[in-house]
Amino acid sequence: MEVRTRFAPSPTGYMHLGNLRSALYTYLFAKANGGKFILRIEDTDQARFVPGAVDVIYRTLKSIGMQWDEGPDIGGDYGPYVQSERKNMYLPYAEQLVKAGKAYYCFCTEEELAARREEAAKRGETFKYDKHCLHLSPEEVQRRIAAGEPYVIRQNVPEHGEASFDDVLYGHIAVDCADLDDMILIKADGMPTYNFANVIDDHTMGITHVMRGNEYLSSTPKYNLLYDAFGWKKPVYIHMTPIMRDATHKLSKRDGDAYFEDYLNKGYLKEAIVNYVALLGWNPGDEREFFTMDELIKAFSVDGMSKSPAIFDVNKLTWMNAEYVRRLTPEQFTAYALPYYEKAGVSAEHADLLARILQQRTEVFTQIPEMLDFIPRLPDYDVELFTNKKSKTNPEIAKHVLEIAIAALDALPAWEEQPIHDTLLGLAEKEGMKNGTMLWPVRIALAGKQVTPGGAIEIAILLGREESMRRLKVGLEKLS
């Protein structure tokens, strides 16, 4: 049997990290078992449809290397792969269930249902549809349909007995049919509900393994009743635990910590995000933490999936991202950093130098503008910054250092790293100073801050001769 899995997102916005993990595990399972990964767009809820969201799905999956074998844009033998384009196929299946007594037409209005919900609430009961329309005669049903009355088609869940299924992670799950509601299969607008369409689509597309969030555990018994009603073979179910922000809170869209593109915009590398998300609820069975997509495919097994909720730790993601940043070539680092140089107002003229001083310090790329904020504009600073016990400097020593440094640097024929290095360290040796005693005042004068990427010599190159000399003289004026 060929393994066929599907990722079936709703086009309602950006890719949530939970959806990303569902897609990733579904893809990895299919590829690890030599199977097919199918992309299906579930757009039956037109009220929540967001224009452009389908393109976001395509872009996200492709950008991280998850190419589908069948889908809306590439076709396949089981299309269409967009539910709204399959609309005409669902009603006949629902009518087949009606004829078999497994479903029925319901004409109850929203107002009538709301009144019954209110009555149930007053009694302290959970509302469940009372099969009010189940016993309408076929003639009555046809008369009301012919009269143009709006209707839905509901599943006729048995009032007694048990509905159950087996899940790879959770084992055997059974519920009392008396506790299940008669869910709507076809809505008044003729569109299928998600609950009905996903069953029809999974069967007609030959899906063998259904991987989805465990919020569907409670609905799956009803899905299996539909499979039984049609006499269809059921897929293998693998329900995944949620991704949590902490022990009691799910990831929050409101807090900006739920979407894949949020983290790209925060300066994280897509490879790091995918690697980290892969480990949220799955363990390779060894100590490895870093994986390429090919390595994930080879390592992935359902046996490594957890039944406990996964905690999303942004600090761990940031640590992992920093490791990925350090593994970039200088050229790759520069390519990612260029937009942040531009945001900082810093020229990429000295890209090699910038990569050298920034790459080992960068955890996420959005840190770069702050690290370079002293380059476009000298911050206002206090002369007390010239005092540093480790470098054995104070304002008096700093004044002397800047006086001799300005004279020596001004005489340099070429403003290059090696001559500046040799000049300043040569002055330190001549004056009998430690290198730090010479370099600290120069760095403070050039940057106006104590913590900088790179030291005095690198900063001088980034600023250029004219700006460096101007800042050194400003520093001397402050100390005079």
- Show Cβ contacts of residue 231 under 8 Å, excluding neighbours closer than 6 positions: none
Helix (H, G, I), strand (E, B) or coil at 114: helix
**Model confidence over 82-135: pLDDT tens digits?**
998 999 999 999 999 999 999 999 999 999 999 999 999 999 988 999 999 999
Higher pLDDT, 319 or 10: 319
Q: How far apart are CA 273 and CA 276, in angstroms?
A: 5
What is the pLDDT, as a whole number, of residue 12? 82
Residue carrying the six token digits 């049609």 = 230
Beta carbons within 10 angstroms of residue 62's beta carbon: 11
383-479 carries CATH number 1.10.20.60: no
375-395 burial, b for 16+ CB within 10 Å, e for fewer?
Answer: beebeebeeebbbbeebebee
**pLDDT for 126:** 87
| SS3 state of residue 465 | helix
- 383-479 has the same fold as 4-81+244-311: no
pLDDT at 74: 95
The third-level CATH classification (topology) of the domain covering 84-240 is Rossmann fold (3.40.50)
Query: Would you identify the CATH topology of the domain 4-81+244-311?
Result: Rossmann fold (3.40.50)
Q: What is the pTM of this model?
A: 0.91
Q: What is the pLDDT of residue 49?
A: 75
Q: Is 266 a catalytic residue?
A: no
Q: What does the alpha-carbon distance between residue 258 and residue 275 come to, in Å, rounded to a whole number?
A: 16
The stretch 296-324 carries a mean pLDDT of: 95
Torsions phi, psi of 346, nearest 5? -115, 130
Asked whether the predicted pLDDT for residue 300 surpasses 80, the reply is yes
pLDDT reported for residue 214: 92
Which residue in 248, 403, 268 sits closest to 323, CA to CA? Answer: 268
* Catalytic residue (choose from 253, 307, 343, 392): 253
Average pLDDT for residues 185-198, to the nearest whole number? Answer: 93
Rounded mean pLDDT, 316-341: 97
Query: What does the domain layout of the chain look like in residue ranges?
Result: 4-81+244-311, 84-240, 330-371, 383-479
Helix, strand, or coil (residue 377): coil
**Tokens 């942040």 map to which residue?**
340
